[in-house]
Structure 1
Amino acid sequence: SLPLGPLFGMMKERERTIEEHQLKYLFLTLCERGRTEAVRVFVENKCYDPSDPRPLRAVVRGQLKNPNVDTDLLMLVLSSHAPQPDDVKCLIETYLAEAENGDVRKVVEKCLVGFHQ
């Protein structure tokens, strides 16, 4: 697979290229697929919409279905989207019941609650 970091580095007019080719929409797909390193590169290159709540919801729901939580991915999207306490409460109330594993649920909840402490 092609490393994304150098690709962003080669863009002459990065912001215009990101907008023109709608690259920010790929961020949601990467979050849905749990591609931590790709998400990190997109965040580092400001190739995401911090006001879009869907990536955080996608990561929370995806992690709740995994046998192990990718806390790096969860914290990366939490920090890049900086949800308000009410948004975090809504995520907890809406999605934590979907957890297939009690330990996973605890880790995700700890990350969400701990984000604002």
Structure 2
Amino acid sequence: MSAAAVLKLQKAGFTTEQVEALADFMDTQAASKADLDNAVHKLELGNAALRKDLDVSNAALRKDLDLGLASLRSEIADVRGELRLLEQRMTVKLGGMLVAAVGILIAAMRYLPPTGH
């Protein structure tokens, strides 16, 4: 507590014992500028450490995401290739069924007796 503050308190009617008790209380309870600066410094250090941890975590997540996307793209390409093969097999089977149906129809027309028209 400054000398000016002590004088103001004494002029206001505080006794010397009251001023000393108040000064002791203020010294033990109030934060000094150095205390505040120290707290700010610790918070800044903690903030910097958190930012660094977040940057590392963010980089790891991006790497995992990139790997996952590459894997997903590969799987999609595989599925598309399998769908093309399935489409080709279905086209061949449908063509074969069509050829067989036409052959059966021609054979039926040729070897069945004509109807009486």
* TM-score bracket, shorter-length normalisation: under 0.3
User: Which one has a bigger Cα radius of gyration?
Assistant: 2
Q: TM-score, normalised by structure 1?
A: 0.21
**Structure 1 or 2: more helix by fraction:** 2
Normalised TM-score (structure 2): 0.21
